[in-house]
Amino acid sequence: MLEESYKLLKEREIRITPQRKAILEILYDHRGEHLEIEDIHRMLSAGRGDTSRTGLATVYRAIELFQRVGLVYRLPMDNSPGRYEFIGPRAPDHHHLICLECGRVEEIDDRLVDGFKKRIMKAKGFTVSERPIKVYGYCRYCKKRP
């Protein structure tokens, strides 16, 4: 997965620096979590390689880059610092139903989501991004209110 990510960067003629590598690795190692820039920076600083003096600005710049090429995605936070998550080079359709009661997470069938996307495209000319869709509600076990 990381190798494929580097390959993607190469293809786009984006230079792979030790800092970028280190940042991507951290994101990768924390798949499923949602890291703040600060977290990443702290982890870099804690390391003892040559990347331990990576500046905050560099982290911001790398993350912004990864977002642009689709390797990383930013959770929409209200006013708090941004949180980022590794997605990987092959946008894995990764759509989830999240139960507000018990936290259970289920996958949504991609075809179902694709149909939805297509309808949006048709109705609005709006291209839905590849980022994972999250739908909140109540699972069959916790079903309570609508």
Partner DNA sequence: GTCATTGCAAACCCTTTGCAACTTC
Partner DNA sequence: GAAGTTGCAAAGGGTTTGCAATGAC
Q: Which residue ranges make up the site for its own copies (CB under 8 A)?
A: 70, 74, 76-79, 82, 97-100, 106, 108-109, 112, 115-116, 119-120, 123-131, 133-140, 143, 145-146
DSSP letter for 96, please: E
Q: Residue 14 binds what, of its own copies, DNA, none (CB under 5 to 8 Å, by partner type)?
A: DNA
CB of 75 to its own copies, least distance (A): 9
Q: Are 82 and 75 in contact (CB under 8 A)?
A: yes
CB of 37 to its own copies, least distance (A): 12
Q: Residue 53 binds what, of DNA, its own copies, none (CB under 5 to 8 Å, by partner type)?
A: DNA
Tokens found for residue 146: 């609508």
Separation CA 106–CA 99 (nearest Å): 8
Q: Which is nearer to DNA, 64 or 107 (CB)?
A: 64
CB of 133 to DNA, least distance (A): 22
Tokens found for residue 22: 């280190």
| Closest to 63 in 3D by CA, of 91, 34, 92 | 34
